[in-house]
Copies of this chain bind each other. A is one copy, B any other.
Amino acid sequence: MKKYFLFIALAFVSCTVPLPAVVLQTDFGLKDGAVAEMKGVALSVDPSLQLFDISHEIPTYNIWEAAYRLNQAAPYWPKGTVFVSVVDPGVGTDRKSVVLKTTSGHYFVSPDNGTLTLVAKNLGIAEVREIDEKINRRKGSEQSNTFYGRDVYIYTAARLAANKVSFKKVGKKLPKEVVSINYQEAVLNNGVIKGNIPVLDIQFGNIWTNIPDSVIYKLGVKYGDSLQIEIFNNDSSVFKNTVPLAQTFGTVAEGNSLSYFNSLMNFSLAVNKGNFSNTYKVYSGPGWSIKISK
């Protein structure tokens, strides 16, 4: 009898513990079949895999935005989730293909081109391994030079999630570091905070900075207080005004500006029921900076 119950117990386990999710991010868009090719490869590895998406609308070749979106979404997913990010302007050059395991227990499959800058910093590096393409490459894809997303990255991610390759067998261990993009961190000096505008909350035209609430509170301000804000595109001043720190959008009239902490608890700017970015021609990127004082 015992062997039967072992058999049954296995059935039980295979049913009730679903495989870790595989979560995709690319700059491919969804107008063609490229993302579907990747998903087909994943399902061919294991048809019980669950596949999800962050965004496939990362602006073409924009590694910084890839880094930002990955860092925005990843912390909310369960341990063991395998992320695949394919924003890869250097495909075919000597940039490495890696899997990063973070101390938070998440896996990130990506070219090591800066995409991992923020998750490495914020979730911590547990281990980095270089993908060994001799083992981790879709059969029959050896002739193709240009679609690593399909032939290497999703294939490796799917096999990792489906436990068909162990993390150790992905490839050789690398030093505990990833290629990182330089960016202006948030600083407070003599009562003036400086920081960067890494991205917009694009759907609503809100301005997101990299300045956490804790730095703002060091100015000794509370909800309802006014802040002096100046925004620069490189050296030219684009916006200069006094804006209240609001707990909710509804505390200012429609069309008025406010500052608030976004869902990542970073300092942000919005127009209530409007679009701050369009109204004031404020955009995001390494060249955009902000100065805040009381």
Whether A30 sits at the interface, judged by CB under 8 Å, is yes
Contact across chains for A36 and B51 when beta carbons are under 8 A apart = no
Interface of chain A residues 26 through 47 with chain B (CB within 8 A): 27-34, 36-41, 43-44, 47
Which of A120-128, A181-189, A259-267, A286-294 is the contact stretch?
Answer: A259-267
Evaluate whether A203 and B27 lie within 8 angstroms (CB atoms) in the complex, with A76-B41, A261-B145 already known: yes
Distance (Å) between the CB of A35 and the closest chain B CB? 8
Chain B residue at minimal CB-CB distance from A138: B76
Contact across chains for B47 and A78 when beta carbons are under 8 A apart = yes
**With the chains together, A7 CA to B273 CA distance in Å?**
54
Evaluate whether A203 and B55 lie within 8 angstroms (CB atoms) in the complex, with A92-B249, A146-B263 already known: no
Q: A32 to chain B: which residues have CB within 8 Å?
A: 55, 69, 72, 199, 201-203
Distance (Å) between the CB of A258 and the closest chain B CB? 11
Contact across chains for A144 and B263 when beta carbons are under 8 A apart = yes
**With the chains together, A197 CA to B93 CA distance in Å?**
27
Contact across chains for B90 and A146 when beta carbons are under 8 A apart = no
Contact across chains for B15 and A30 when beta carbons are under 8 A apart = no
**With the chains together, A36 CA to B51 CA distance in Å?**
12
Whether A48 sits at the interface, judged by CB under 8 Å, is yes
Contact across chains for A263 and B203 when beta carbons are under 8 A apart = no
Whether A5 sits at the interface, judged by CB under 8 Å, is yes
Whether A236 sits at the interface, judged by CB under 8 Å, is no
Contact across chains for A40 and B8 when beta carbons are under 8 A apart = no
Q: A144 to chain B: which residues have CB within 8 Å?
A: 261, 263, 265
Q: A28 to chain B: which residues have CB within 8 Å?
A: 203
Q: A7 to chain B: which residues have CB within 8 Å?
A: 12
**Residue from the set A33, A74, A90, A213 with the largest chain B CB neighbour count within 10 Å:** A33
Additional A-B contacts beyond A14-B15, A21-B43, A93-B248 (13; CB < 8 A): A15-B15, A31-B55, A32-B69, A37-B76, A47-B50, A60-B203, A60-B204, A61-B273, A89-B273, A144-B263, A146-B248, A146-B262, A151-B263
